[in-house]
Structure 1
Amino acid sequence: MPKRVDHAQRRAHIIDALVRVAAAEGLHAVTMRAVAAEAGMSPNLVQYYFETKAQLLHAALERLEQQSHLRWSARLDGLSRPVSAHAFVEAFLAEALPTDEASRAFHLVWTSYAVLAMTDPELAAQPFVAGPDRLERQLTGVLEQAQREGAVDRKRDAAAEAAHLLSLSHGLGTSVLVGQRTADAAMGVLRTHVDQLFARPTDPSPSANGAAGHAG
Structure 2
Amino acid sequence: MPTRVDHEQRRREIAAAVWRIAAERGLESVSMREVAAEAGVSLRLVQYYFETKHNLLVLSLRYLHERGEQRAQARVAAQADQSARGIARTLLTELLPLDPERELSLRVHRAYFSRTHSDPALAKLFVGAGTPVEDLLTSLLRRAVLPAGTHPRHEANLLVAGLTGLGLDVLHGRFNPAEVLAALDYHLNRLFGPGPAQA
Task: Report 1:114-125 matches (<5 A).
Answer: 114-125=113-124
Aligned-partner SS, 2:131: helix
1:213: which partner in 2?
Answer: none
* Counterpart Cα distance in 1 of 2:122 and 2:92: 27
CA deviation map 1:120-139 (0-9, x unaligned): 123224x2234451111111
Q: Structure 1: which 4+ aligned runs deviate by more than 6 Å?
A: none
Question: TM-score when scaled to structure 2?
Answer: 0.89
Deviation at 1:101, TM superposition (A): 1.4
* Counterpart Cα distance in 1 of 2:128 and 2:176: 29
Count of matched residue positions in the alignment of Structure 1 and Structure 2: 194
Q: Which residue identity lines up with residue 101 of structure 2 in the other structure?
A: A
Deviation at 1:194, TM superposition (A): 1.3
CA deviation map 1:39-76 (0-9, x unaligned): 11222210111122222122122222222222212322
2:165: which partner in 1?
Answer: 171
Deviation at 1:190, TM superposition (A): 1.3
Unpaired stretches in structure 2, ≥5 consecutive residues: 195-199
Deviation at 1:199, TM superposition (A): 4.1
Task: Report 1:36-115 matches (<5 A).
Answer: 36-81=36-81, 83-115=82-114
Contact 2:95 2:164 in 1 (8 A): yes
Question: TM-score when scaled to structure 1?
Answer: 0.82
* Counterpart Cα distance in 2 of 1:162 and 1:181: 22
What's the RMSD between the two structures over aligned residues?
Answer: 1.9
CA deviation map 1:5-50 (0-9, x unaligned): 2211110110111112222222221111110001112222101111
Q: 1:143 aligns with which of 141, 144, 147?
A: 141
Q: 1:198 aligns with which of 186, 189, 192?
A: 192
Q: Does 1:153 align with 2:147?
A: yes
Contact 1:168 1:190 in 2 (8 A): no
Q: Which residue identity lines up with residue 94 of structure 2 in the other structure?
A: E
Percent of counterpart pairs with the same letter? Answer: 39
2:197: which partner in 1?
Answer: none
